[in-house]
Chain A
Amino acid sequence: ILNVEQSPQSLHVQEGDSTNFTCSFPSSNFYALHWYRWETAKSPEALFVMTLNGDEKKKGRISATLNTKEGYSYLYIKGSQPEDSATYLCASVNTGGFKTIFGAGTRLFVKA
Chain B
Amino acid sequence: EAGVVQSPRYKIIEKKQPVAFWCNPISGHNTLYWYLQNLGQGPELLIRYENEEAVDDSQLPKDRFSAERLKGVDSTLKIQPAELGDSAVYLCASSLDRGRTQYFGPGTRLLVL
Q: Which residues of A contact B (CB under 8 A)?
A: 4, 6, 31-32, 34, 36, 42-46, 49, 89, 91, 93, 97-105
Chain B: minimal CB distance from A109 (Å): 15
Describe B's contact surface by its main secondary structure: loop
A102 in contact with B106 given A43-B3, A43-B4, A46-B101 (CB within 8 Å)? no
A97 touches B102 (CB 8 A): no
For the complex of A and B, the 4 pairs showing the least CB-CB separation, nearest first, are A102-B42, A98-B98, A43-B104, A44-B104
Asked if B25 CB lies within 8 Å of chain A CBs, one says no
How many pairs of residues, A versus B, come closer than 8 Å at their CB atoms? 52
Q: Which residues of B contact A (CB under 8 A)?
A: 3-4, 33, 35, 40-45, 48, 55-56, 91, 93, 98-107
B45 touches A34 (CB 8 A): no
Q: Report Cα–Cα, A103/B44, bound state, in Å.
A: 9
A32 touches B99 (CB 8 A): yes
- Residues on A with C-beta less than 8 A from B103 are 43, 46
B45 touches A100 (CB 8 A): yes
15 cross-chain CB contacts under 8 A: A32-B99, A34-B102, A42-B106, A44-B104, A46-B102, A49-B100, A49-B101, A91-B102, A93-B99, A98-B99, A99-B56, A100-B45, A102-B42, A104-B40, A104-B42
